Amino acid sequence: MKRSEVILLALFLACWLLEMAVFPGWVRFDGSLPLDLYPYYGVAMSLGWLFGLLCANRTRDMDTGPTRRFILFYFVGPIGFLFLVRDMATLEAQKAAPFVPLWGLGVYAIFFLTAVILRLPLPGK
Give the C-alpha separation, 75 to 82, whole Å: 12
Identity (one letter) of the amino acid at 87? Answer: D
User: Which band of pLDDT confidence, cut at 50, 70 and 90, is reported for residue 120?
Assistant: low
pLDDT tens-digit series, residues 16-68: 999 999 989 899 988 888 888 889 999 999 999 999 998 888 888 777 777 78
pLDDT tens-digit series, residues 90-102: 888 889 989 999 9
Q: Compute the residue count for the chain.
A: 125
CA count, 13 A, side-chain hemisphere, 25: 1
Domain edges within the chain = 3-118
CA torsion 34-38-42-45 (nearest 10°) is 120
